[in-house]
Amino acid sequence: MDYWLRPQVNPGIANVFAAAAFRFAHVTVQPVVTRLGPGYQPSPRHPPLPLHHSLFASWRVIREGGVDPVLRGLLLSPAKLQVSDQMMVEELTERLFQAQGGLPFDLGALNLQRGRDHGLPGYSVWRRLCGLSDPVSESDLAGIMGNPTLAQKLLALYSTPQNIDVWVGAISEPPLPGGRVGPLLACLLAKQFRALRDGDRFWWQRKGMFSRAQRSSLQRVSLSRVICDNTHIQLVPPDPFTRTLCTEDLLPCTHPRIPPLDLSAWREPDSDPTCGSVPRIQPGYSLLCDSAVLYQCPAGFSLVGPSQVKCDPHTQQWTSAPPTCQDVDECASSPSVCPQNTECHNTPGSFTCTEPDVASFSASSVAAAVVAVLGGVAVMLLIMVCYRRFFPMKSDHLQSRCCQRPS
């Protein structure tokens, strides 16, 4: 299906989406991070972890098995069930960031304060924006929430439905049939993602962005395939966004239902239908685009010649010869690219800096160094001989006296 760009649509992120609506997932977080071994079985090396011990603890990824145990746990663990008597787990409301020291935070309180700091209107205003009923009484609110007790608690705190924070009211609504969110969140989320699609001129399904074959190849890629290609996990569910009840439902990464990305749709033709073989350059990059070949050199090389050549339909020849990629001599630049007291050596596309090699010194410099050392040794010996002659040691005087006979 092709989607056309709608320039009048703003694809930017709405304030209510960033500060409230998209944070509905906080009520789906489990209090424990489940970690599983290669066979999706509990591992004594990586036991379940309390949530507050995993926050800002990236060192666990390095020292405790990488991301694979955590991903296996996420693939088999259901999201927390949203119930009115416990919207969020205590790991988020009583122990948030506690493992990092200091006082713990309350994520629910942070969400409320964030919405107020951003100046978000109340719950009723967003209901009207989405074409939903506007609660004005306790009975209206109880009908929307499907829970009279919850409606009484909200009015005891806010006095009137118009004062209810949008985040609190949105997560309090019961989910729609087959969904995870209520009517207000469904509306706000849908508006944002529709704007991201319709207002983005680079949206992958927009006509002219990719060919039909390329879009078909992208459509077949799944999150399961991404996990297979970037981890050591070999068994994945067909759809990671739906709950997998047992390990027997997992599929190997080689299963036809989890196909890899087929890049053949991006392969460029080697010839133009009018001018024949496409002139390429080495090293360098070339792109055939509407009977024109665009050229670019890699880093460390400069393009010498035209940046593109076109196919002349009259002569059925390319308009000019392709350019070349000439190596850039970084060592000739000023100031030097290498630190002081090092030598620069140019290499294709780059350069190296090395310490001066003793073997590279000239023969005259080596001979001069040897002569200087020998001369220094000779001077030291001469000084020692002269000192011994003119300043004899005390032991020499004693020995000479002992050897003299009395007359």
345 is in an annotated binding site: no
Instruction: Please classify residue 46 by burial: count the beta carbons closer than 10 Å to its beta carbon, then call 0-12 exposed, 13-18 middle and 19+ buried.
Output: buried
* Burial track 336-369 (b if 16+ CB lie within 10 A, e otherwise): eebeeeeebebeeeebeeeeeeeeeeeeeeeeee
Q: Which residue has the tokens 């919207």?
A: 87
Of residues 370 and 91, more confidently modeled: 91
Helix 148-158 with 138-145: angle, nearest 10 deg = 130
How confident is the model over 347-353, as a mean pLDDT?
91
How confident is the model over 8-31, as a mean pLDDT?
94
pLDDT for 359 beyond 60: no
pLDDT digits (tens, 9 = 90+) for 260-316: 999 999 988 888 889 999 999 988 999 888 889 999 999 999 999 999 999 999 999
Provide the pLDDT confidence category of residue 58 given band limits of 50, 70 and 90: confident
Supply the mean pLDDT for the chain. 88
Three-class DSSP category at 155: helix
Query: The pTM is what?
Result: 0.71
pLDDT for 393 beyond 70: no
Residue count of the chain, please give it: 407
Alpha-carbon distance 171 to 34, whole Å? 25
pLDDT for 357 beyond 80: no
Provide the pLDDT confidence category of residue 116 given band limits of 50, 70 and 90: very high
pLDDT for 48 beyond 70: yes
Does residue 335 have a cis peptide bond before it, meaning omega lies within 30 degrees of 0?
Answer: yes
How confident is the model over 167-171, as a mean pLDDT?
95
Provide the pLDDT confidence category of residue 360 given band limits of 50, 70 and 90: low
Q: Which domains does the chain have, with CATH numbers?
A: 212-264 (no CATH), 268-327 (2.10.70.10), 330-358 (no CATH)
